[in-house]
A = this chain, B = another copy of it.
Amino acid sequence: MKVRSRFSSALLSAMFVFTTVVSFNSAGASELKLSADEVAKASQIYFNICTGCHGTLRKGATGPNLLPKRTQELGTQGLEDIIWGGTPGGMPNWGEQGALTREEANLLARYLQEDVVAPPEISMGQIKMSWNLMVPVDKRPKAPQHKRNWLNYFGVVERDAGKVVVIDGDTKEIVSRVDSGYATHILRSSASGRYFLSIGRDGKVGMIDLWTEKPSLVAVAKPCAEARSVDSSKYKGYEDKLIIVGCYWPPHMVILDGQTLEPKKVVGTRGYTYDTMEYHPEPRVAAIVSSHYTPEWVCNIKETGYIWLVDYSDIENLKVTMIEGERYLHDGGWDKHHRYFMPAANMKDTMVVIDTKERKRVAKFEVGVKPHPGRGANFDDPKFGPVHSTVHIGEGLVSVWGTDPEKHKANAWKVVRKIELPAGGGCLFLKTHPNSKNLWVDFTLNVDLEPHQSLGVLDINNLEKPVEMIKITDNPKARVVHMEYNKDGTEVWVSVWAKEGEIVIFDDKTKKEKARIKGLVTPTGKFNVYNTMKDIY
C-alpha cells in the first residue's frame, strides 16, 4: 500500500542521482574535455568507489584530497596508474582487482582533474516526497504472526544485490529476502528489536517488520544522496519513537518517525574543524549509536572531528552537545556498560573516549595504524579487567585498553596490550560476546590474498597464545568479512564475500564448522536482532 508518495521510486532515484555539472579549469582544458555522458559515468564511478575516503567535494578524509591543483600535477597517466594499481598507503588497486576496466580508470583519471561541483542540496520537501509508508501502523500485526524466535533472527546485507536476507538463527532457514535497494550498507535493530532498519549508500532508509510471516518493508524514505548510518531512539520511554539517519551528502542528519519513517527534522553539520577551526563544507555523519543513559544519539562528525550528542526528547528545541574529538571520526562502539562511547579517528591512529553521562570527552590515545573497530569488542581481560579492543587496517595488531576508571583506574583509557597478528593487517572487524572466551578477527583487506580466506581466533583466557588461523573458504576470489554472534553467544556467523557467497556458522566453543548458508550474493555485514538492539559486542 502506497500512502503518501506521489512519485514512482524510479523517478525518486533519478531525483537524487548526483547531477554533476563540470566547469573547466584553465590547465589543459581541451585535452581533458569530457562529454556529458562521460561526466555522468565518471561521477557514478566516483560515487561508487572514491567518495568514502576522498569525500564528495574531493577535499580528502581517510584518503588525500583530489582537488585539481593536486590531480593536475599527477596527470592523467599518474592518476590512472594509482587507480589501477593502488598505493602502499592504502589506496586499493581497483583495476587489478577487477573493479574497473582500463577505460574506466582512464576516464576517472581525466574526471579527477576537473573542477569540483557540489551536488545539489536536499530539502525537507524533497525528503517528504521520497517517503513511502507501505504499511501504516494500524495495518501491522499487534503480535508476531509466527512462532519463530525472531529475537535470534539475523539480517544479512547482500551488498551488490541491494537486498537484506532475513535468516532464522535457530533453524538457519532464509525467512525473507527484502529489496532494500542499491548498496545497502548496514542494518540496525529498533529499540524493541521488532524492526530492522536498513541504510543504503544511496541514502535510502528502509524499515523491515520482523513480526509478519515474511518480513518485508513497511516504510522507506531517502533523506540523503549518500549515507552510512542509522539508529533508533533507545532510551526508556522513547523506544521505537524516532529514527536518525546520518548522511554523507548532503552533510546533515535527518530525524524520522520511529514507526512510519515520516521525516521530522533536518539538522545540518556544516561547520568548523575542532582543532584548526577552519570551515568545512562537507562534515559527514559517520557512525551513530543510541545512548542507553540519556535520550540522545551519539553521532560521529567525520571531517570536523566532533562527536555530537543529539537530544531527541524535544526536537523542536533541539539540544546538541558538540564534543571535541579528533579527525577523521569513523566507527566505534560502547564499553560493556554503555556509558563510554569510543570512536576511532582512523587517520590519526587514535581512539577517543566520550563519557555520555558527563557529556564530555574523557580521553584520547593512540593505538595502531588506522584502527577500524567496527563496534569493537568488550571482554574481561584476565590481567587488566574490563577492556575494549580494536583491529587495524594499517597493521596486524589487536589494541586493547582498559574501560573501567572506577575499579581499574590505572588501566583506564591506556593501551594495555598490543597483540600481534602474524597474518598481518588489513583487518576490518573483531568480535566476541559476553558468553564467549574467543576473539575473532578478519583480514579482509590484507595486502596478501591468502589471509582473505581465513579468520584468526584469539583465546581471551590466554592472550599470549599464538593466534589460531581458521580457513573458511577455498574460493580464491572470496574475502571473509564480519563476524556476528547468535543471541546466546554460542555460534559465530561469518560472511564469505563473493558473487557466490555464503555464511559459515561456527560453534564458538569448539571452533568447528556447524553449518553453511549458501546461495547468497556478496554477503557482508550481518546483524543479530538481540545483540544489535542491546549493543552486545
Task: Verify if A318 is at the interface (C-beta below 8 Å from B).
Answer: yes
Asked whether, in the complex, the Cβ of B319 is within 8 Å of the Cβ of A272, the reply is no
The listed residue (B250, B319, B360) touching A316 by CB distance below 8 A is B360
The listed residue (B121, B252, B276, B323) touching A125 by CB distance below 8 A is B276
- Chain B's nearest CB lies how many Å from the CB of A318? 5
- Chain-B contact segment, one of A10-18, A90-98, A262-270: A262-270
Interface string of A31-72 (1 = CB under 8 A from B): 000000000000000000000000000000000000000000
B-contacting residues, A266-289, CB 8 Å = 266-268, 270-272, 276-279
Asked whether, in the complex, the Cβ of B272 is within 8 Å of the Cβ of A271, the reply is no
Chain B residues closer than 8 Å to A252, beta-carbon distance? 272, 279
Chain B residues closer than 8 Å to A361, beta-carbon distance? 316-317
Chain B residues closer than 8 Å to A277, beta-carbon distance? 123-125, 265-266
Report Cα–Cα, A272/B478, bound state, in Å. Answer: 44
Q: Which residue of B lies closest to A250 (CB)?
A: B279
Chain B residues closer than 8 Å to A270, beta-carbon distance? 268, 270-271
Interface string of A229-253 (1 = CB under 8 A from B): 0000000000000000000001010
Grouping DSSP codes into helix (H, G, I), strand (E, B) and loop, the A interface class, with mixed when no group exceeds half, is: strand
Chain B residues closer than 8 Å to A317, beta-carbon distance? 321-324, 359-361
Asked whether, in the complex, the Cβ of A268 is within 8 Å of the Cβ of B276, the reply is no
Task: Verify if A117 is at the interface (C-beta below 8 Å from B).
Answer: no
Q: Assuming A124-B272, A279-B123, is B319 touching A320 (CB within 8 A)?
A: yes
Task: Verify if A138 is at the interface (C-beta below 8 Å from B).
Answer: no
Q: Which residue of B lies closest to A120 (CB)?
A: B279
- Chain B's nearest CB lies how many Å from the CB of A334? 19
Report Cα–Cα, A271/B123, bound state, in Å. Answer: 11
The listed residue (B267, B324, B360) touching A272 by CB distance below 8 A is B267
Task: Verify if A314 is at the interface (C-beta below 8 Å from B).
Answer: yes
B-contacting residues, A481-537, CB 8 Å = none
Asked whether, in the complex, the Cβ of A318 is within 8 Å of the Cβ of B321, the reply is yes
Q: Assuming A123-B277, A277-B123, is B318 touching A322 (CB within 8 A)?
A: yes
Number of interface residues of A (CB under 8 A): 30
Chain B residues closer than 8 Å to A360, beta-carbon distance? 314, 316-317
Q: Which residue of B lies closest to A126 (CB)?
A: B278
Q: Which residue of B lies closest to A358 (CB)?
A: B317
Report Cα–Cα, A360/B322, bound state, in Å. Answer: 19
- Chain B's nearest CB lies how many Å from the CB of A353? 13
Chain B residues closer than 8 Å to A125, beta-carbon distance? 276-278
Report Cα–Cα, A250/B280, bound state, in Å. Answer: 12
- Chain B's nearest CB lies how many Å from the CB of A305? 12
- Chain B's nearest CB lies how many Å from the CB of A32? 20
Chain B residues closer than 8 Å to A123, beta-carbon distance? 272, 276-279
Chain B residues closer than 8 Å to A271, beta-carbon distance? 267-268, 270
Chain B residues closer than 8 Å to A272, beta-carbon distance? 123-124, 252, 266-268
- Chain B's nearest CB lies how many Å from the CB of A254? 9
Chain B residues closer than 8 Å to A268, beta-carbon distance? 270-272, 279
Report Cα–Cα, A534/B153, bound state, in Å. Answer: 62
B-contacting residues, A348-380, CB 8 Å = 359-361
Asked whether, in the complex, the Cβ of B316 is within 8 Å of the Cβ of A324, the reply is yes
Chain B residues closer than 8 Å to A266, beta-carbon distance? 272, 277
- Chain B's nearest CB lies how many Å from the CB of A278? 4
Interface string of A303-325 (1 = CB under 8 A from B): 00000000000101111111110
Report Cα–Cα, A465/B100, bound state, in Å. Answer: 84
Interface-centre pick from A125, A267, A268, A323 (highest chain B CB count, 10 A): A268
Q: Which residue of B lies closest to A277 (CB)?
A: B124
The listed residue (B121, B316, B320, B359) touching A279 by CB distance below 8 A is B121
Q: Which residue of B lies closest to A123 (CB)?
A: B278
Report Cα–Cα, A250/B265, bound state, in Å. Answer: 25
Report Cα–Cα, A272/B276, bound state, in Å. Answer: 25
The listed residue (B124, B278, B324) touching A276 by CB distance below 8 A is B124
Q: Which residue of B lies closest to A324 (CB)?
A: B316
Q: Assuming A276-B123, A278-B124, A314-B360, is B322 touching A322 (CB within 8 A)?
A: no
Chain B residues closer than 8 Å to A279, beta-carbon distance? 121, 123, 250, 252, 268
Chain A to chain B contacts (Cβ below 8 Å), 13 pairs: A121-B278, A123-B272, A123-B277, A124-B272, A124-B277, A250-B279, A265-B277, A266-B277, A267-B322, A268-B270, A317-B361, A319-B359, A320-B320
User: What 19 new A-B contacts, CB under 8 Å, besides A265-B277, A266-B272, A268-B279?
Assistant: A123-B272, A123-B279, A124-B272, A124-B277, A124-B278, A125-B277, A125-B278, A250-B279, A252-B279, A268-B270, A268-B272, A270-B271, A314-B360, A316-B323, A316-B324, A317-B324, A317-B361, A318-B321, A319-B322
Closest 9 CB pairs of A and B: A124-B277, A268-B271, A317-B360, A123-B278, A121-B279, A266-B277, A270-B270, A319-B321, A266-B272
